[in-house]
Amino acid sequence: MPVTRTFRLAEIAALVGGETLGDGNLEIHGIASLKSAGPRDLSFLSNVSYQSQLRSSQAGALLLAPANRDASNRPRIISEDPYLAYAKVVEAFYPAQHHVAGVHPNAVVHPLARLGNGVQLAPFCSVGKDAVIGDRVRIETGCVIGECVSIGSDCILHGNVTIYANSRIGERAIIHAGAVIGSDGFGMAREGEHWRKIPQIGGVIIGNDVEIGANTTIDRGALDDTVIEDGVKLDNQIQIGHNVHIGAHSAFAGCVGIAGSTRIGRRCTIGGGSVILGHLEIVDDVNIAAASVVMKSIRRAGDYAGLYPLQERSVWARNAANLRNLDGLERRLRYLESTIGGKSRKTR
Amino acid sequence: MPVTRTFRLAEIAALVGGETLGDGNLEIHGIASLKSAGPRDLSFLSNVSYQSQLRSSQAGALLLAPANRDASNRPRIISEDPYLAYAKVVEAFYPAQHHVAGVHPNAVVHPLARLGNGVQLAPFCSVGKDAVIGDRVRIETGCVIGECVSIGSDCILHGNVTIYANSRIGERAIIHAGAVIGSDGFGMAREGEHWRKIPQIGGVIIGNDVEIGANTTIDRGALDDTVIEDGVKLDNQIQIGHNVHIGAHSAFAGCVGIAGSTRIGRRCTIGGGSVILGHLEIVDDVNIAAASVVMKSIRRAGDYAGLYPLQERSVWARNAANLRNLDGLERRLRYLESTIGGKSRKTR
Amino acid sequence: MPVTRTFRLAEIAALVGGETLGDGNLEIHGIASLKSAGPRDLSFLSNVSYQSQLRSSQAGALLLAPANRDASNRPRIISEDPYLAYAKVVEAFYPAQHHVAGVHPNAVVHPLARLGNGVQLAPFCSVGKDAVIGDRVRIETGCVIGECVSIGSDCILHGNVTIYANSRIGERAIIHAGAVIGSDGFGMAREGEHWRKIPQIGGVIIGNDVEIGANTTIDRGALDDTVIEDGVKLDNQIQIGHNVHIGAHSAFAGCVGIAGSTRIGRRCTIGGGSVILGHLEIVDDVNIAAASVVMKSIRRAGDYAGLYPLQERSVWARNAANLRNLDGLERRLRYLESTIGGKSRKTR
């Protein structure tokens, strides 16, 4: 992507609230990774494991944490939070593009739908009866907006998004391609060997500043609503079951699945591929490692994990065989303890 | 969603085959969760963990199991299966909406496709050559129906569904947005370091009364067909590999993946996020817990699980380190046993 | 699917470089599984577990490995690699269909987009400004091609695929329905309790001969590009995070998730449902079992696994309880060892 303008290093320091070391007049043409940066680029240390790349980098200037103040003598900006500063610099170089308002002649808008000012509606979108689309909303090709859907101002919907009837989305949402909002929850009752579908009559309520990843799905509630609070960030291919409630500013990495009626607190982070069972409660500020399974409610903030360690296949096979019989192993240990008549201390 | 009519409590009892306790003339305006119900609403105990909500609920009437007959003295209906009764009550209050038949001028239907009576085809759908769409089928915006696809009567396809050529779908299917049916199975042969694609020439055959969740994908068979029998319910983001066979009335929660050629019996339930490897056979009436991995065929009905327990991250780390060396731990135990010369009993 | 012609058995043997045993003049009308084949069909042993089907099969001829040369006395072809031979035979019976070039009047192509010769563009596709579509590319209904996207010659895009701006795709790609390429990576910085989005300004670069499964998502890079090298095969519902690099001829089964900035070597295979964490490096020729989690870089080629064994639920529960306290179990063992004063050998 082409940048729109250049900045002096000192201008960037002011922008991010950092301290300039070295030539503040250096003209910076862009921001780039350590590996790709040239002498006109600003770069930064995103991950401590990249420290070795620092020396070989061609970057003309650097964005560093106070701890790395002297890691280089190039022109540099010292910032308390280089990652946040990096975010601000990227924004400065690549400001959001102004979109072109207008409804494409190949879009179908129900006469009773209401579009705000400056709405951009791409071809092959349909907007249902009584839907309300806020000002400056941009909707890309192939989106389906059901009846009575409301979308707040300044939202962006990428291609082929489907929003079922009655879903409510706040302001400034970014919804990536293929996402589905408001599909039926998975509710049914056994009737003999058959399943009887339970009509899902709840809705989906999404707050402000929410981002929803590509092909992520959020089911509507069974009776009450599924709720995603302000500032929640969902990566791609996440599945949110009916009546889930996600507290503000929580962030889930890709491929997470949350079963129905689970309530997750504020500022939680869930690692990619994790599964959270239904009807649980997770308090604020809980961090779940990737690929973990939450089977019980979590009442205390903190970091949790449950990943099976990867090993060479043959080693894994031996360990897994023992794991299949761990209870027996514990019994053998208990027997030895009773034989010897001693025990370190109560461990269970 | 607005309800269409009201019911007397005794009418509802008759509808669900339950017993009325208290004022059967009470006029009920809707059904709601314990938390949201008002004095004109019927509510119910969906989960035993919600019993504490019962007392504080404003619900005017309740739907209870015989065991909870005296859990409240409000007007109530006693039903052998309150969850099934709840399903029937929701249906009564929110009957399926009659759709408006007609082909939108912005849909493209091949002249050799055949549409039944009362078909509703939304804008931006395409229906391929020789496709056959049954009576009263409703197809929402953006669906792609390939050549020679057949769809039975009374099916509903939500937005942006893609059905590849030659797939056959029975009657009354509900297919949610973004689902893909009939994509190529993942079949290829090594040729040096390259992969050679094996054309996938089988099809997909889906029975009657099947529900398919949002963004779920079902691959076509390699030579024979992928088969989903009657009454199967698939939640969102499920992946069904080529030549899988799923027996009638089985239900899979979200994010399940089934590898190729596996055969699953009737009335099985698979918990969310589970993975079932390929070329396995699972008999009828098997229940797999969420997030479990099935590596071997299952020959006996019953409940199975394989979830790594979640713990605080530091505790997990210590336990996982031991798990990585469980075989060594077992060897140490064996050595002690040989030293002491005793053993509780044969446990392996 | 109807076959287009028939072959003599000896013709097929020549085609696959195999040896004919029995009547080489036998006319073969198709290829089918052992279960479905009739007396005019060629069949093959795809999996050793199907050997019992061989006897009962009605197949008129067989494709066998040298080791199974005498497993049947029917007319047969002996091939060093029957699976690869099978791939070639299917291709011969079902050659790729010639598509019908042309831009459907219901497609929207920006005047500054460039379409090659023989492009087929189905209804309800949009092609953005400055996009470049190669010769003979086939794009099915509902695809969204963003600005500046380039697609090499002979690619096939199935229905409802979304390709974000600036993505580059090589030649002969097959992209299945609902796939999303170039969506924003999941990048954001904490700012108080809020998340600040980091504009994702990198792109996606996909080599030649890549296949991408249905509803798979590939994120664009943060600063640098996400790269998928030549010949990579991705099954359905795979999630590729930003700045991931996948080496040539690697193949991933369904539902795999790869977190950001991880680099995977050439000719790797990743089993279905596996999760690979971010910022890792995996060398060439690594095979990861299904449903495994890769938490650390893998520096040595080989086979790796980390699957929790499935058991009957009650047995699992006991073993999992012990796993939760494995560290304590190890301590008890250590105490016994210290009491007895002996130890087999250093195992930790």
3-class secondary structure, B22: coil
B251 contacts in chain A (CB < 8 Å): 188, 195
B36 — pLDDT class (breaks 50, 70, 90) = very high
B342 contacts in chain A (CB < 8 Å): 335-336, 339
Q: Does A343 touch chain B (CB under 8 A)?
A: no
Instruction: Please check the confidence at residue C49 and state whether its pLDDT lies above 80.
Output: no
Instruction: Please check the confidence at residue A347 and state whether its pLDDT lies above 50.
Output: no
> What is the set of active-site residues of C?
242
DSSP state of A221: P
Instruction: Please check the confidence at residue C97 and state whether its pLDDT lies above 90.
Output: no
3-class secondary structure, A314: helix
Q: Does A266 touch chain C (CB under 8 A)?
A: yes
Chain A contact probe: residue of B81, B327, B335, B339 with most A CBs at under 10 A: B327
- Chain A neighbours among C 217-256 (CB < 8 Å)? 217, 219, 223-224, 237, 239, 241, 255
Q: For residue range A145-187, what is the model confidence (pLDDT) as tens digits?
A: 999 999 999 999 999 999 999 999 999 999 999 999 999 999 9
What pLDDT score does B339 carry? Answer: 85
Number of H helices, E strands in chain B: 5, 40
Q: For residue range C25-43, what is the model confidence (pLDDT) as tens digits?
A: 999 999 999 999 999 999 9
Give catalytic status of residue A242 as yes or no.
yes
What pLDDT score does A53 carry? Answer: 85
Burial of residue B235 (number of CB atoms within 10 Å: 0-12, 13-18, 19+): buried
3-class secondary structure, A66: helix
Q: Which of C144, C196, C288 is closest, CB to CB, to A84?
A: C196
Which residue type occupies A267?
R
Q: For residue range C271-329, what is the model confidence (pLDDT) as tens digits?
A: 999 999 999 999 999 999 999 999 999 999 999 999 999 999 999 999 999 999 999 99
Q: How close C256 comes to chain B (CA, Å)?
A: 10
Instruction: Please check the confidence at residue C343 and state whether its pLDDT lies above 60.
Output: no
Tell me how far apart the alpha carbons of residues B318 and C116 are, in angstroms, rounded to a whole number. Answer: 59
What pLDDT score does B46 carry? Answer: 66
Residues contacting residue B98 through CB under 8 Å, at least 6 positions apart: none
Average pLDDT, chain A: 94
| CA of residue A283 relative to chain centroid, distance | 18
- Please, are residues B33 and B55 in contact by the beta-carbon 8 Å criterion? no
B158 — pLDDT class (breaks 50, 70, 90) = very high
B132 DSSP β-pair partners: B114, B150
Spatial strand order in the sheet of B239-240: B108-109, B126-127, B144-145, B162-163, B180-183, B217-219, B239-240, B257-258, B275-276, B293-294
Spatial strand order in the sheet of B251-252: B102-103, B120-121, B138-139, B156-157, B174-175, B211-212, B233-234, B251-252, B269-270, B286-288, B302-305, C311-312
C104-114 CB burial, b ≥16 within 10 A, e <16: eebbbbeeebe
What pLDDT score does B340 carry? Answer: 81
Contact C188 A290 (CB under 8 A): no
Q: Does C199 touch chain A (CB under 8 A)?
A: yes
What pLDDT score does A100 carry? Answer: 85
What pLDDT score does B347 carry? Answer: 44
- Out of A18-22, A141-145, B316-320, B339-343, which region has the weakest mean confidence (pLDDT)? B339-343
Q: Does A28 touch chain C (CB under 8 A)?
A: no
Q: Does B260 touch chain C (CB under 8 A)?
A: no
Tell me how far apart the alpha carbons of residues C324 and C327 are, in angstroms, rounded to a whole number. Answer: 8
3-class secondary structure, B6: coil
Average pLDDT, chain C: 94
Tell me how far apart the alpha carbons of residues A166 and A177 are, in angstroms, rounded to a whole number. Answer: 20
What pLDDT score does B4 carry? Answer: 74
Contact C253 B261 (CB under 8 A): no
- Out of A96-100, A134-138, B75-79, which region has the weakest mean confidence (pLDDT)? A96-100
Instruction: Please check the confidence at residue C98 and state whether its pLDDT lies above 90.
Output: no
When comparing pLDDT for C194 and C95, which is higher? C194
Q: Which of A146, A223, A289 is closest, CB to CB, to B32?
A: A223
DSSP state of B57: -
Residue of A nearest to B319 (CA): A306
- Please, are residues A247 and A224 in contact by the beta-carbon 8 Å criterion? no
Q: How close B290 comes to chain A (CA, Å)?
A: 8
Contact A333 C336 (CB under 8 A): yes
Q: Does A211 touch chain C (CB under 8 A)?
A: yes
pTM of structure: 0.96
A59 contacts in chain C (CB < 8 Å): none
- Both tokens assigned to C179: 């796939």
C246 — pLDDT class (breaks 50, 70, 90) = very high
Spatial strand order in the sheet of A281-282: A114-115, A132-133, A150-151, A168-169, A204-206, A226-228, A245-246, A263-264, A281-282
Residue of A nearest to C191 (CA): A84
Chain A contact probe: residue of C108, C158, C162 with most A CBs at under 10 A: C162
DSSP state of A266: T
What pLDDT score does A4 carry? Answer: 74
Instruction: Please check the confidence at residue C347 and state whether its pLDDT lies above 50.
Output: no
- Please, are residues A174 and A151 in contact by the beta-carbon 8 Å criterion? no
Q: Which of A108, A293, A332 is closest, CB to CB, to B344?
A: A332
What pLDDT score does A96 carry? Answer: 83
Instruction: Please check the confidence at residue C117 and state whether its pLDDT lies above 90.
Output: yes
Q: Does C167 touch chain A (CB under 8 A)?
A: no
Q: For residue range B82-141, what is the model confidence (pLDDT) as tens digits?
A: 999 999 999 999 988 777 899 999 999 999 999 999 999 999 999 999 999 999 999 999
Q: How close B207 comes to chain C (CA, Å)?
A: 20
Q: For residue range A188-237, what is the model confidence (pLDDT) as tens digits?
A: 999 999 999 999 999 999 999 999 999 999 999 999 999 999 999 999 99
- Please, are residues A91 and A12 in contact by the beta-carbon 8 Å criterion? no
The phi and psi torsions of B90 (rounded to 5 degrees) equal -60, -45
- In this prediction, the answer to ipTM > 0.85 reads yes
B16 contacts in chain A (CB < 8 Å): none
When comparing pLDDT for A45 and C69, which is higher? C69
Give me the catalytic one of A158, A176, A242, A245: A242
- Both tokens assigned to A320: 């897994």
Strands A245-246 and A263-264: parallel
Residues contacting residue C346 through CB under 8 Å, at least 6 positions apart: none
What pLDDT score does B197 carry? Answer: 96
What pLDDT score does C245 carry? Answer: 98
Residues contacting residue C260 through CB under 8 Å, at least 6 positions apart: C185, C186, C187, C219, C222, C241, C242, C243, C244, C278, C279
- Both tokens assigned to C329: 């179990």
How confident is the model over A246-268, as a mean pLDDT? 98
Instruction: Please check the confidence at residue A342 and state whether its pLDDT lies above 80.
Output: no
- Please, are residues B242 and B200 in contact by the beta-carbon 8 Å criterion? yes
Q: Select from B99, B57, B93, B98 the least CA-distant residue to B74.
A: B57
What pLDDT score does C96 carry? Answer: 83
- Residue that has been written with the tokens 């992507």 in this structure: A1
Q: For chain C, give the longest Cα–Cα distance.
A: 86
- Both tokens assigned to B289: 């817990």
What pLDDT score does A340 carry? Answer: 81
Q: For residue range A57-91, what is the model confidence (pLDDT) as tens digits?
A: 999 999 999 999 998 999 999 999 999 999 999 99
B123 contacts in chain A (CB < 8 Å): 108, 124, 126
What pLDDT score does A282 carry? Answer: 98
The three-state (H, E, C) secondary structure of chain C, written as one string: CCCCCCEEHHHHHHHHCCEEECCCCCEECEECCCCCCCCCEEEECCCHHHHHHHHHCCCCEEEECHHHCCCCCCCEEECCCHHHHHHHHHHHHCCCCCCCCEECCCCEECCCCEECCCCEECCCCEECCCCEECCCCEECCCCEECCCCEECCCCEECCCCEECCCCEECCCCEECCCCEEEECCCCEEEECCEEEECCCCCCEEECCCCEECCCCEEECCCCCCEEECCCCEECCCCEECCCCEECCCCEECCCCEECCCCEECCCCEECCCCEECCCCEECCCEEECCCCEECCCECCCEEEECCCCCEEHHHHHHHHHHHCCHHHHHHHHHHHHHHHCCCCCCCC
B48 — pLDDT class (breaks 50, 70, 90) = low
What pLDDT score does A186 carry? Answer: 97
How confident is the model over B319-334, as a mean pLDDT? 92
